Structure 1
Amino acid sequence: MKKFNTNSNVYIVVYSTVMVVVVALLLAVAALSLQKRQYANELNEKKQSILASLSATDRDYDEFIEARVLDVEGRTVEGGDVFAMLNDLQGSFDAGRFPIFEAGDGRVVIPVTGSGLWGPIWGYVALENDMNTVAGIVMAHKGETPGLGAEIATEKYQSNFVGKTIFEGDEFVSVSLRKGGAKDTAHEVDAITGGTKTSDGVTAMLRTSIGHYLPLLEARRAAAQTGPEAAGQDEMSNEENVENHE
């Protein structure tokens, strides 16, 4: 039997090719086998972040939260994977599709996206039933500077947003991060010391992202302000009009 010359160029090329193919196949099999688990982990992370913005991590997401997609006028539209939209939230916004998460107690969670100093920043803003007061916020980043811009991802910093309001009367003003310290205690928080660019990015992210949901927020605020008493007055006015016409 003819033996292979392990020192020949042909043997080396063939051996290297076989090893590359085998390793590639093993990596492909591993990637496919882990894909479902990876997706499940990412999905669970998103669900937990949404619950965390509501301070409701002890609740079951599927029982407590309803996910919907809105159009530019704030109406619910059918179709589309809400969580897939979160993977390219800016693309969804550009396409006129706005995912939103509604809690069983009437609060809502709005996903937000923007740019920091070194890369993308994103998060979830929870609003109280009045569609105005911040119930909580969770933010994350891809590569902000540790100890500076990266502070946006800490619970300590995020707690500064709780209780802030996004409307001044009927005007949407969002929540801003002010360098040198917040002056408007209703709508501002202290910017991050040494993290001006990241702070500016968060301010722009909140204003722009929440702004997409104004049709829904304003409609619900108007309905809440109308209330049963005003509804009764409207009904009485209609009856008076009927009598006058008679």
Structure 2
Amino acid sequence: MATRKFRCNVCGYIHEGAAAPDKCPVCAAPASEFTEITEKKKGLFSDTNSNAYIILYSTVMVVIVATLLALAALGLQKRQYENELNEKKQAILASLSASDQRYDEFIDAYVVDKNGARIDGEDVFTLLNDLPGAYAAGKFPVFEARDGRVVVPVTGMGLWGPIWGYVALEKDMNTVAGVIMAHKGETPGLGAEISTAKYQANFVGKTIFEGDKFVSVTLRKGGAKDPAHEVDAISGGTKTSDGVTAMLYNSLANYLPLLEAKRRAAAEQVVLAPVSDESNDENK
């Protein structure tokens, strides 16, 4: 039989044997005053207060949590993409003041090259996820409304980070029908004003051509002097305002071949439009 150890609770004497002694040989305490000594299990992780145990436990918990988060992200990925896609569609409709319309019924989305010719097989919303990259590759997304108006996406840099949005043009491809802008981190109360409906309303009715010359729309510090092509810059947000000016000019310039072709087509339709019978009667 394995040897066991018992400690006297009175004097601390340790007895080895199969059972506690009837009486402590040192202090004469009875067997009831003896407590068996049990050895702790030996092992690297047997002590829950050891550094090894704490490290192992922490590692296991991190792996479990990371796995759960990864699974949750994968499960929500499709819904997140759908939400982002819907936000983009709603922003495009908002630039046209057509939020009451159904995007898929009201908008024809396509991509053009640097010459304004359509490119087949490109997904416009995939390109929007990296618009600067799409521009660099010569691919320009276009959203054409059923009523003939056109929306083009714009991208640039503000004071603290990227700025982006959509510019809607009337059928003349010159007059701004609406603007939607957003930012990543412009200063609240200053540069962040570009994302407010009140400020964006200032762009409606501005024109991007002066005759046949492309001039875009400029945000002027100190107040707009040219009511056709300028908007008051944001007070205290000069860098953001300059960024918006550059964003509008550089982005819209990519679409000049398309816009000019549509302007010519519209002008030709006006020239070729048949004279009404009523007008003929008046001329007789």
TM over 0.5: yes
1:205 partnered with 2:247 = yes
1:89 partnered with 2:131 = yes
SS of the equivalent of 1:59 reads coil
1:72 partnered with 2:114 = yes
Whole-angstrom CA distance in 2 between matches of 1:186 and 1:137: 15
Question: Percent identical across equivalent pairs?
Answer: 74
Summarize the Cα distance change of 1:104–1:49 in structure 2 as closer, same or farther, 3 Å threshold: same
Summarize the Cα distance change of 1:192–1:228 in structure 2 as closer, same or farther, 3 Å threshold: closer
Aligned position for 2:88: 46
Aligned position for 2:165: 123
Which AA in structure 1 matches 2:231?
A: V
1:19 partnered with 2:61 = yes
SS of the equivalent of 1:117 reads coil
SS of the equivalent of 1:137 reads strand
Aligned position for 1:187: 229
Tell me, which stretches of 5 or more residues in structure 1 are unaligned? 233-246
Instruction: Kindly state the Cα deviation for residue 11 of structure 1 after the two structures are TM-superposed.
Output: 2.2
1:163 partnered with 2:198 = no
Which AA in structure 1 matches 2:182?
A: A
Instruction: Kindly state the Cα deviation for residue 231 of structure 1 after the two structures are TM-superposed.
Output: 8.5
Q: Deviations over 1:159-184 (max 9, x none)?
A: 00000000111111101111111111
Q: Deviations over 1:33-73 (max 9, x none)?
A: 11111111111110110000000111111111111000010
Larger radius of gyration: 2
Instruction: Kindly state the Cα deviation for residue 230 of structure 1 after the two structures are TM-superposed.
Output: 4.7
User: Which protein has greater RCO, CA pairs closer than 8 Å, 6+ apart?
Assistant: 1
Whole-angstrom CA distance in 1 between matches of 2:116 and 2:199: 31
Q: Deviations over 1:133-169 (max 9, x none)?
A: 0000000001111111111000000000000000111
Summarize the Cα distance change of 1:221–1:117 in structure 2 as closer, same or farther, 3 Å threshold: same
More helix by proportion, 1 or 2? 1
Q: Deviations over 1:185-216 (max 9, x none)?
A: 01111111111111111011000000000001
Whole-angstrom CA distance in 1 between matches of 2:259 and 2:189: 35
Instruction: Kindly state the Cα deviation for residue 227 of structure 1 after the two structures are TM-superposed.
Output: 2.4
SS of the equivalent of 2:118 reads coil
Whole-angstrom CA distance in 1 between matches of 2:163 and 2:126: 17
Match for residue 108 of structure 1 among 140, 145, 150: 150
Aligned position for 1:224: 266
Aligned position for 1:235: none
SS of the equivalent of 1:126 reads strand
SS of the equivalent of 2:193 reads helix
Q: Deviations over 1:61-115 (max 9, x none)?
A: 1111111000010000012221111111011000000001011111000000001
Whole-angstrom CA distance in 1 between matches of 2:146 and 2:265: 18
Tell me, which stretches of 5 or more residues in structure 2 are unaligned? 1-39, 275-284
Whole-angstrom CA distance in 2 between matches of 1:104 and 1:121: 28
SS of the equivalent of 1:56 reads coil
Whole-angstrom CA distance in 2 between matches of 1:35 and 1:61: 22
Query: After the TM superposition, which of the residue ranges 111-120 and 12-21 deviates more from structure 2?
Result: 12-21
Which AA in structure 2 matches 1:222?
A: R
Which AA in structure 2 matches 1:71?
A: D
Count of paired positions: 232
RMSD over equivalenced CA pairs, Å: 1.6
